[in-house]
Amino acid sequence: MPATEETEQEVIIAVMGVTGTGKSYFIREVSGISDVEVSSKLHSCTAEVKPYSFPYAGAKITLVDTPGFNDTVKSDAAVLRDICTWMSSNYRKGKLLSGIIYLHRITDVRMDGSSVKYVKMFQKLCGPDALKNVLLTTTRWSDVTQEQGESREGDLQGGDFWGGLITEGAAVARFMGTRESGLELLDKLMGNEPKPLDIQDQMAEKNMAMAETEVGKFMNGELDSLQKKYSKALKDLKKQHQKAIKQKDDLFEGILAEERAQTRRKLEEAAAQKKLLENLRVNILRELEEAENKREEERQRRDRAVIAVSTKDVSIGAHLTSLFTSYSTIGRLIYDIDDTTEFEKKPFEVEIRDQSNLLSPITVLVKTGQEVFSAGMSRSNYIIYNQGYYQCKPNRYIERGSRGFVIFSKY
């Protein structure tokens, strides 16, 4: 929903990378939505694709948090399925990405085969045209010296890691862990022409099954290699296990038995991922898209709820001294502003903040006397609630009974 009287541009930017690179942290810091869940370990907090919207520089910025590959809970095939379903669904709605911020920890010393695999998967997912709108962004610079960081950054840009992506137009950037640093990245992407990813064209336009897409074929090839690797390992372990039994080496026999069990599980996991990809045919993908559309409709229904703040719950002192700072008061979550009984709900504590510095000069309005003394708020005021950004919209002062309320709507 627009936050200004003018038609507002929406800029959609996906934040991607393997688990633990700081995608949710980036979104929390840059958006100012302080209750975005962030993991302190290498375990993902992001179970599904989730967008977060907020105003910046006269536009509606939507940062899309995505599940990471190499997750400890969800398989790579399941992560790919979820990302591609969201991408395809939004493509059909005419929503294209203005850019992708692909995060990588500068603290990672080794670029092993697994790391290279995920970069190649990302390359296949995007395609050469969309890669021109990609920022390959390193994080965790506070954990290395400048010399170490620059050396590793140079290594990343060469060879099999980022070399191919850079050749096709991707740019390299740094996220220094601050909001200002993140906003600089947004500035670089906001003027881009939105482009479809290859996966969107292949699934939504060409009606390909997942296994037929470029990224699907690449993942299938990787899974084939894993199956061969684990099958050979099982045969070798079986021979060693039988030898240990003959030699009555109980300790070694136990170790080998555990290794065989682990390898067998890995082989079964690879087979399960391969089957998942093969089963993602056009009709199944459409069903997944329909399910995603229903989830989106439910999110939109919830997003229509507003937060009502009574003018009596904001003191005159707050009006006069907190025009460009934050202060606490109480509000009520309202699903139907025409239902007067909703305004009798039990209130909860909210913090009203001011974000004038992030709005463009065109969209920042001077607070009128009525705004200051009736409510003390303008469109630069906002509330963070339940991982959402609620903004004070123009002309959203209403009266219910003898009380006046200012309405904050989900952005």
| DSSP output for 123-134 | HHHH-TTGGGGE
Per-residue DSSP letter, 97: B
- Same structural domain, 146 and 194: yes
Task: For residue range 358-376, list pLDDT tens digits in order.
Answer: 544 434 333 443 444 345 5
- Give pLDDT, residue 324: 54
CB atoms near residue 45 (< 10 Å): 17
pTM equals 0.82
Q: Give the pLDDT band of residue 4 (cuts 50, 70, 90).
A: very low
- Same structural domain, 126 and 233: no
The answer to whether residue 263 is domain-embedded is yes
Mean pLDDT of 174-199: 97
End of a domain among 207, 226, 242? 207
- Give pLDDT, residue 46: 62
Phi and psi (nearest 5°) for 10? -105, 130
The answer to whether residue 95 is domain-embedded is yes
Q: Give the pLDDT band of residue 2 (cuts 50, 70, 90).
A: very low
- Give pLDDT, residue 140: 95
Q: Scanning the structure block, which residue is given the tokens 């894993």?
A: 226
Alpha-carbon span 207 to 281, nearest angstrom: 9
Task: Return the CATH number at 116.
Answer: 3.40.50.300
Cα dihedral 19, 75, 297, 193 sign:
positive
Alpha-carbon span 84 to 284, nearest angstrom: 13
The answer to whether residue 297 is domain-embedded is no
Nearest to 34 by CA among 313, 346, 326: 326
- Same structural domain, 150 and 49: yes
Nearest to 20 by CA among 140, 131, 116: 140
End of a domain among 242, 261, 279? 279
- Give pLDDT, residue 40: 57
Task: For residue range 210-245, list pLDDT tens digits in order.
Answer: 999 999 999 999 999 999 999 999 999 888 888 888
- Same structural domain, 340 and 270: no
The answer to whether residue 380 is domain-embedded is yes
Total number of domains constituting the chain: 3
The answer to whether residue 72 is domain-embedded is yes
- pLDDT higher at 221 or 254: 221
Torsion of CA 276, 82, 74, 100, to 10 degrees: 130
The answer to whether residue 222 is domain-embedded is yes
- pLDDT higher at 295 or 272: 272
- Same structural domain, 331 and 253: no
- Same structural domain, 181 and 258: no
- Same structural domain, 63 and 163: yes
Range of the structural domain that residue 347 is part of:
305-410
Phi and psi (nearest 5°) for 111? -105, 85
- Give pLDDT, residue 368: 40
Alpha-carbon span 213 to 41, nearest angstrom: 33
Alpha-carbon span 23 to 50, nearest angstrom: 11
Alpha-carbon span 90 to 85, nearest angstrom: 9
Average pLDDT of the chain, as a whole number: 85
The answer to whether residue 294 is domain-embedded is no
- Give pLDDT, residue 45: 58
- Same structural domain, 329 and 348: yes
- Same structural domain, 193 and 255: no
End of a domain among 207, 231, 253? 207
Q: What angle do CA 258, 264, 270 make, to 5 degrees?
A: 140
- Give pLDDT, residue 115: 80
Whether 349 has a pLDDT exceeding 80, the answer reads: yes
- Same structural domain, 19 and 160: yes
Helix (H) and strand (E) counts for the chain? 12, 12
Mean pLDDT of 174-180: 97
Burial class (CB in 10 A: 0-12, 13-18, 19+), 57: middle
- pLDDT higher at 53 or 248: 53
- Same structural domain, 257 and 149: no
- Give pLDDT, residue 311: 86
Give yes or no for a contact between 82 and 49, defined as CB atoms under 8 angstroms apart. Answer: yes
Mean pLDDT of 160-187: 95
Task: For residue range 65-121, list pLDDT tens digits in order.
Answer: 999 888 878 899 999 999 999 999 999 999 999 999 999 999 987 776 678 899 999
Alpha-carbon span 207 to 212, nearest angstrom: 10
- Same structural domain, 31 and 153: yes
The answer to whether residue 287 is domain-embedded is no
Tokens of 305: 């709820």
